[in-house]
């Protein structure tokens, strides 16, 4: 007999998913004037709810509500009063943590283990952290004057967490917001709207408009929006930058990445293997800062790969609500298609493709953890962001070659360095052109730490004191 873990599903009964959702404007749910769309569970393709698609008129109503709340209420409140609301929201997120975790897992496809231990606690932590700043802005270095109305567009990979990254600093600084969640994952944002009601947040301070690209474009182009904050693909980021050029709107962009995870021969090998796994297979690789390029020193490449394959073979893929699931579903059919296409290109270009033997569910969108060996800088899988559980392995001989290869990308969001030698960590970290460099760890997030990119990975920082700059006049001189 072997140690087979019996199914350990988290109960869905804690969440109450409504049949349909309207838009959250001026503190209440209202019907949209546009059409609607369905959000589905990517692990089963079950339709979860019908969600309103905000049209230009709806976006205009939301921006007007935000402007009114900004002028009449929110910008006039002392920081200490704004902080009370943010603390209250943070506590409600914790209290309703299981509900949020289950809902996020169902709507996004990511494992409950991650929503429970990462997404929800860090989302609450962001509200706690920026609540603390609200009455101390005179020490921020960016003054205390808010920008006004922020239009915020977030991606589907960390729906609630990205909402927290956007809303918490904006509100702490005295701005009001209109936020558009991604069209495949609107449900936790709509639950967050209920939390705003529960916290008695003044109407119009937070408005949530659901929809796809057209809704986002209407928000970005709205003349009364003072600031646009976007997290998503580099392509859309460029389009946003073009569309707001000359309008006087301030913009922060957090875009794609193709991070190098560099393993030197003196690295703590077992922990490096763990870090490689966390780097690329956390959240099915739907992570802009994922360590999607493994750069491993040639002298230990074989050993590292052998250990990596053994470790990846032990990952548990399946029902996102099972507490023992390590890898959940791909978020959408479209994303699955893109991952499959790039993986096939990798194979066609001659890289060695490997996946552990695993039974994927027949319903839903699934892709096995995949490792490509023998990848060179010229391969497309070494250059393009796949945004899926696909790792490209390259080797290097010397530290300078490692840095050169790591920096040889149009992106620059994150990087990882693995070595037992402290002096090497400091030297390499200084030479890497990436906004975040992790040393002997990967994919660690904390509200006190600024996050953001170089080059085509975007501009502006989120998190930490630096995250205030994007929402204060003094941070944008």
Partner 1 sequence: MTATPLRPDALASGDVAEITRNDASLRRFLHGLPGVDQVGAEARAAGLGTRSIKTTAKAYALDLAIRMVDLTTLEGADTPGKVRALASKAMRPDPADPDCPAAAAVCVYPDMVGIAKETLGDSGVKVAAVATAFPSGRAAMDIKLADTKDAVEAGADEIDMVIDRGAFLSGRYLQVFEEIAQVRDACGSAHLKVIFETGELQTYDNVRRISWLAMMAGAHFIKTSTGKVQPAATLPVTLVMLEAVRDWRDATGQMIGVKPAGGIRTAKDAIKYLVMVNEIAGPGWLDPDWFRFGASTLLNDLLMQRTKMATGRYSGPDYFTLD
- Can residue 4 be called a binding residue for partner 1 (CB under 8 A)? yes
Mask for 272-311, x = binds partner 1 (CB under 8 A): --xx---------------------------x--------
Q: Which two tokens stand for residue 260?
A: 């190098």
- Can residue 356 be called a binding residue for partner 1 (CB under 8 A)? no
Residue from 60, 221, 266, 349 binding partner 1 (CB under 8 A): 266
Helix (H, G, I), strand (E, B) or coil at 293: strand
Q: Of 45 and 306, which CB lies nearer to partner 1 in the complex structure?
A: 306
Residue 395 CB contacts under 8 Å (≥ 6 apart), including other chains: 295, 296, 297, 298, 301
Q: Is 302 a catalytic residue?
A: no
* Count of residues of this chain found to bind partner 1 when the rule CB under 8 A is applied: 25
- Can residue 352 be called a binding residue for partner 1 (CB under 8 A)? no
- Can residue 408 be called a binding residue for partner 1 (CB under 8 A)? no
Q: Is 358 a catalytic residue?
A: no
Residue from 95, 138, 194, 270 binding partner 1 (CB under 8 A): 270
Cβ neighbours, 10 Å, residue 72: 11
- Can residue 440 be called a binding residue for partner 1 (CB under 8 A)? yes
Q: With CB under 8 A as the contact rule, which of the stretches 29-37, 260-268, 427-435, 469-477 interacts with partner 1?
A: 260-268
Q: Which of 254, 384, 385, 456 is catalytic?
A: 254
Helix (H, G, I), strand (E, B) or coil at 212: coil
Helix (H, G, I), strand (E, B) or coil at 405: helix
| Cα→Cα distances 346→272, 320, 388, 450, 457, Å | 24, 28, 13, 34, 23
- Can residue 139 be called a binding residue for partner 1 (CB under 8 A)? no
> Is the sign of the CA dihedral 126, 128, 129, 131 positive or negative?
positive
* DSSP one-letter string for 124-150: HHHHHHHHHHTT-GGGSSS-S-B-SEE
- Can residue 233 be called a binding residue for partner 1 (CB under 8 A)? no
In the complex, least distance from residue 291 CB atom to partner 1, rounded to whole angstroms: 14
Residue from 121, 268, 399, 410 binding partner 1 (CB under 8 A): 268
Q: Of 152 and 325, which CB lies nearer to partner 1 in the complex structure?
A: 325
- Can residue 117 be called a binding residue for partner 1 (CB under 8 A)? yes
* DSSP tag of 344: H
Report the half-sphere exposure of 329 (CA within 13 A, side-chain side).
27
Residue from 269, 345, 358, 429 binding partner 1 (CB under 8 A): 269
Q: Of 216 and 416, which CB lies nearer to partner 1 in the complex structure?
A: 416
In the complex, least distance from residue 105 CB atom to partner 1, rounded to whole angstroms: 14
Mask for 179-218, x = binds partner 1 (CB under 8 A): ----------------------------------------
Q: Which of 173, 196, 288, 289 is catalytic?
A: 288
What are the backbone angles phi and psi of residue 439, rounded to the nearest 5°?
-115, 120
Q: Of 408 and 449, which CB lies nearer to partner 1 in the complex structure?
A: 449
- Can residue 6 be called a binding residue for partner 1 (CB under 8 A)? yes
C-alpha span between 53 and 65 (Å, rounded): 18
Residue from 3, 13, 223, 242 binding partner 1 (CB under 8 A): 3
Cβ pair 408, 376 in contact under 8 A: no
C-alpha span between 238 and 340 (Å, rounded): 25
- Can residue 449 be called a binding residue for partner 1 (CB under 8 A)? no
Q: Of 117 and 200, which CB lies nearer to partner 1 in the complex structure?
A: 117
* DSSP one-letter string for 86-124: HHHHHHHHHHTHHHHHHHHHHHH---HHHIIIIIHHHHH
Strands 390-396 and 293-297, how do they pair?
parallel
C-alpha span between 218 and 56 (Å, rounded): 6
C-alpha span between 1 and 14 (Å, rounded): 35
Q: Of 149 and 300, which CB lies nearer to partner 1 in the complex structure?
A: 300
In the complex, least distance from residue 467 CB atom to partner 1, rounded to whole angstroms: 25
Termini Cα distance of the chain: 67
Q: With CB under 8 A as the contact rule, which of the stretches 5-13, 228-236, 369-377, 425-433 interacts with partner 1?
A: 5-13
| Interaction site with partner 1 (CB under 8 A) | 1-8, 113, 117, 266-271, 274-275, 303, 314, 323-324, 420, 440-441
Catalytic residue IDs: 254, 288
């Amino acid at each position: 007999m072997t140690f087979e873990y019996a199914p350990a599903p988290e109960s869905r009964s804690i969440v109450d998913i409504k049949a349909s959702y309207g838009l959250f404007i001026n503190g209440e749910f209202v019907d949209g004037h546009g059409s609607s769309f369905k959000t589905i569970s990517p692990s089963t393709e079950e339709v979860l709810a019908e969600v309103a698609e905000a049209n230009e008129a709806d976006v205009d109503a939301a921006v007007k509500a935000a402007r009114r709340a900004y002028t009449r209420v929110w910008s006039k409140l002392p920081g200490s009063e704004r902080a009370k609301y943010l603390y209250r929201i943070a506590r409600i997120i914790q209290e309703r943590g299981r509900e949020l975790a289950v809902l996020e897992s169902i709507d996004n496809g990511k494992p409950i283990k991650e929503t429970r231990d990462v997404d929800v606690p860090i989302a609450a932590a962001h509200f706690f952290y920026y609540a603390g700043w609200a009455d101390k802005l005179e020490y921020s270095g960016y003054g205390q004057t808010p920008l006004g109305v922020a239009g915020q567009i977030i991606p589907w990979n960390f729906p609630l967490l990205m909402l927290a990254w956007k809303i918490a600093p904006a509100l702490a600084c005295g701005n009001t917001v209109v936020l558009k969640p991604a069209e495949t994952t609107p449900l936790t944002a709509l639950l967050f709207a209920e939390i705003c009601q529960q916290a008695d947040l003044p109407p119009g301070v937070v408005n949530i408009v659901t929809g796809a690209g057209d809704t986002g474009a209407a928000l970005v182009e709205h003349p009364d929006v003072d600031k646009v904050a976007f997290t998503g693909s580099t392509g859309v980021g460029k389009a946003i930058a073009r569309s707001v050029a000359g309008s006087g709107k301030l913009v922060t962009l957090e875009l794609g990445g193709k991070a190098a995870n560099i393993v030197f021969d003196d690295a703590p090998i077992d922990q490096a293997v763990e870090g490689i796994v966390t780097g690329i297979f956390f959240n099915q690789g739907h992570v802009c800062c994922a360590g999607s390029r493994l750069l491993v020193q040639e002298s230990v490449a074989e050993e590292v790969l052998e250990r990596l394959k053994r470790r990846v073979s032990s990952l548990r893929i399946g029902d996102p609500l099972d507490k023992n699931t390590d890898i959940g579903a791909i978020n959408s059919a479209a994303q699955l298609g893109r991952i499959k296409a790039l993986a096939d290109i990798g194979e066609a270009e001659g890289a060695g493709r490997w996946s552990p033997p695993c039974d994927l569910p027949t319903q839903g969108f699934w892709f096995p953890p995949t490792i490509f060996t023998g990848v060179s800088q010229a391969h497309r899988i070494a250059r393009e962001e796949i945004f899926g559980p696909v790792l490209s392995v390259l080797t290097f001989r010397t530290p300078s070659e490692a840095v050169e290869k790591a920096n040889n990308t149009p992106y620059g969001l994150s990087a990882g360095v693995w070595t037992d030698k402290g002096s090497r960590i400091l030297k390499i970290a200084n030479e890497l052109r990436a906004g975040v460099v992790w040393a002997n760890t990967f994919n660690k997030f904390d509200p006190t730490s600024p996050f953001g990119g170089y080059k085509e990975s975007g501009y502006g920082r989120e998190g930490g004191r630096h995250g205030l700059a994007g929402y204060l006049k003094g941070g944008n001189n």
